[in-house]
């Protein structure tokens, strides 16, 4: 997603004080369509991540990292808690924000167990799902 498109999405989101779950999912689908060919992963390998199916394959791990890079929450090759929190405030439905932020606080340090950017983001994301499946959204 180019910066102009992302900026427009963020302005729309901010003015509405977050999106509905369906709107957020639709927005993330744009990033999915960009990241699948970028990392060379088959859609069937990533289509069930939101349901907790996390294939431990390099291209799947890098796809997950690509999604988070697209929403600009990766800094120094790992998820950045403050940047993630800001995006949650902008994008997530009001009723989900606190729960998702708690999961992020719990899961962000898991990244320190890995040196590879794709693995760091992948395992932190897997933790987010495991910590709170009902509030986990992923394209």
Total domain count for the chain? Answer: 1
What's this model's pTM, rounded to 2 decimal places?
Answer: 0.84
Q: What confidence tens digit (pLDDT) does each residue in 100-126 have?
A: 999 999 999 999 999 999 999 999 999
Q: Which helix (H) or strand (E) holds 75?
A: strand 74-75
Exposed / middle / buried, residue 30 (Cβ in 10 Å: 0-12, 13-18, 19+): middle
Q: What confidence tens digit (pLDDT) does each residue in 34-88 have?
A: 999 999 999 999 999 999 999 999 999 999 999 999 999 999 999 999 999 999 9
Say how far apart CA 28 and CA 49 lie, in whole Å. Answer: 13
Which residues fall within 8 angstroms of residue 49, CB to CB, at 6 or more apart?
60, 64, 125, 129, 138
CATH number for the domain including 48?
A: 1.10.238.20
Domain that holds residue 39: 3-135
| pLDDT on residue 20 | 86
Give CA 13 to chain center in angstroms. 16
Say how far apart CA 68 and CA 64 lie, in whole Å. Answer: 7
30 to each of 1, 5, 47, how far by Cα in Å? Answer: 8, 10, 14
> How does residue 27 score in pLDDT terms, banded at 50, 70 and 90?
confident
């Amino acid at each position: 997603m180019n910066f102009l498109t992302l900026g427009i999405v963020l302005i729309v989101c901010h003015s509405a004080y977050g999106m509905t779950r369906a709107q957020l999912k639709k927005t993330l689908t744009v990033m999915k369509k960009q990241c699948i060919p970028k990392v060379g992963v088959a859609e069937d390998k990533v289509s069930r991540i939101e349901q907790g199916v996390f294939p431990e394959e390099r291209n799947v791990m890098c796809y997950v990292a690509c999604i988070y890079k697209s929403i600009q929450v990766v800094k120094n090759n790992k998820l950045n808690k403050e940047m993630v929190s800001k995006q949650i405030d902008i994008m997530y439905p009001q009723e989900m924000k606190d729960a998702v932020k708690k999961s992020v606080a719990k899961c962000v340090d898991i990244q320190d167990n890995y040196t590879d950017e794709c693995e760091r983001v992948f395992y932190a994301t897997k933790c987010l799902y495991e910590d709170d499946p009902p509030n986990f959204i992923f394209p």
